């Protein structure tokens, strides 16, 4: 009976998620929440097997194998969840030169989702308490987005009273790795400091509570050495969904690091690398060729433009 009850709960939660955050048919098919329908199907199968006493009559070796796989999966999930729930948080007394506000997507109507609005509010509160900090709002244009997310993030942050002169908009990044990569380059360009100096500077990362630990792990892998985080809270109703999804994302990141050793530390590129990469759509440098040619002399570790 417990499997049947679980199946009903999984289906009910899936339906409730769609009502709370409706989307298109495409987003429905490829949304993480569809996993609850799969879990419901598994529970129904287990209910049927139990009713027919197939588990009771199964071989001992089969039972051990199934229980071992389930136990290993549960252990891995719990360990990863422990890391997800323990990011390095700001306590208010830290020095902060720069803030990186991570985006999370916009709607087709150029509006921020509730998750991102909460990040913006958290960033505004932090920036008001640290009036000398410069902030980068980072987010490019997704496949179905009408514009780069940073175009919406900047005025949203300014609406809280943050001076636009303190807000830099990075409009090329399409994932968290690019968020950090392009933000570091943008800050380097704006301040005249080298990439390494930006990586060593005190930086605060602002994102959602479920996302902060993974973001910080990526930042550390990429060379940021002096960072802390501010997290926006997720409404209780969405907590099971976003943390279950984040466990999968964190495991995926661990596998990526283990097999590919990516991402690696950011380095000051050579002129040859610089010109080659500007040809790529998602170049390391989110600038026009004209702007990039201006930057080339500085990339030879000069402190001023030629």
Between CA 157 and CA 99 the distance in angstroms is: 12
Residues of the chain with CATH 3.40.50.620: 98-260
- Exposure string for 262-300, b = 16+ CB within 10 A, e = fewer: ebeebeebeeeebeeebeeeebbbbbeeeebeebeebbe
Return the biggest CA–CA distance within the chain.
Answer: 80
- The per-residue pLDDT for 269 is 63
- The per-residue pLDDT for 299 is 40
- The per-residue pLDDT for 289 is 36
- The per-residue pLDDT for 23 is 65
- The per-residue pLDDT for 56 is 79
Residues of the chain with confidence (pLDDT) below 70: 23-29, 269-306
Closest C-alpha to 227, from 121, 120, 96: 96
Between CA 137 and CA 254 the distance in angstroms is: 26
- The per-residue pLDDT for 66 is 86
Q: Domain spanning 98-260: which CATH class is it, in words?
A: alpha beta
- The per-residue pLDDT for 53 is 80
Q: What is the pTM of this model?
A: 0.84
């Amino acid at each position: 009976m417990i499997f049947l009850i679980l199946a009903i709960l999984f289906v009910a939660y899936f339906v409730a998620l769609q009502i709370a955050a409706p989307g298109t048919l495409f987003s429905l098919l490829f949304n993480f929440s569809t996993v609850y329908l799969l879990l419901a199907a598994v529970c129904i199968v287990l209910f049927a097997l139990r009713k027919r006493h197939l588990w009771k009559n199964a071989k001992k070796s089969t039972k051990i194998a199934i229980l071992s796989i389930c136990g290993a999966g549960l252990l891995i999930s719990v360990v990863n969840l422990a890391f997800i729930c323990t990011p390095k948080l700001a306590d208010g007394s830290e020095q902060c030169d720069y803030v990186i506000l991570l985006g999370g997507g916009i709607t087709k109507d150029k509006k921020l989702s509730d998750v991102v609005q909460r990040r913006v509010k958290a960033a505004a509160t932090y920036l008001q308490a640290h009036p000398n900090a410069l902030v980068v709002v980072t987010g490019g244009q997704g496949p179905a987005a009408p514009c780069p997310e940073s175009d919406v993030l900047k005025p949203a942050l300014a609406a809280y009273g943050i001076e636009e002169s303190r807000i830099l908009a990075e409009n090329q990044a399409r994932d968290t790795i690019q968020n950090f990569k392009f933000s570091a380059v943008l800050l380097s360009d704006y301040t005249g400091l080298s990439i390494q100096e930006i990586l060593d500077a005190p930086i605060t990362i602002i994102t959602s509570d479920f996302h902060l630990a993974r973001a910080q792990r990526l930042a550390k892998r990429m060379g940021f050495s002096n960072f802390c985080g501010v997290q926006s809270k997720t409404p209780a109703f969405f907590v099971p969904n976003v943390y279950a999804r984040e466990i999968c994302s964190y495991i995926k990141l661990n596998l990526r690091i283990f097999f590919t050793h990516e991402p690696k530390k950011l380095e000051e590129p050579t002129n040859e690398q610089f010109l080659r990469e500007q040809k790529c759509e998602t170049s390391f440098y989110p600038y026009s060729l004209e702007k990039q040619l201006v930057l080339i002399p500085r990339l030879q570790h000069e402190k001023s433009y030629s």
